[in-house]
Amino acid sequence: KQEVTQIPAALSVPEGENLVLNCSFTDSAIYNLQWFRQDPGKGLTSLLLIQSSQREQTSGRLNASLDKSSGRSTLYIAASQPGDSATYLCAVKSGGSNYKLTFGKGTLLTVNP
Partner 1 sequence: GAGVSQSPSNKVTEKGKDVELRCDPISGHTALYWYRQSLGQGLEFLIYFQGNSAPDKSGLPSDRFSAERTGGSVSTLTIQRTQQEDSAVYLCASSRTGDETQYFGPGTRLLVL
Letters for 80-99 (x = contact with partner 1 by CB under 8 A, - = none) are: ---------x-x-x---x-x
Q: Which of residues 34-73 bind partner 1 (CB under 8 A)?
A: 34, 36, 41-46, 49, 51
CB atoms within 10 A of CB 50: 20
Is residue 100 at the binding interface for partner 1, with CB under 8 A as the rule? yes
Residue numbers at the binding site for partner 1 (CB under 8 A): 4, 31-32, 34, 36, 41-46, 49, 51, 89, 91, 93, 97, 99-106
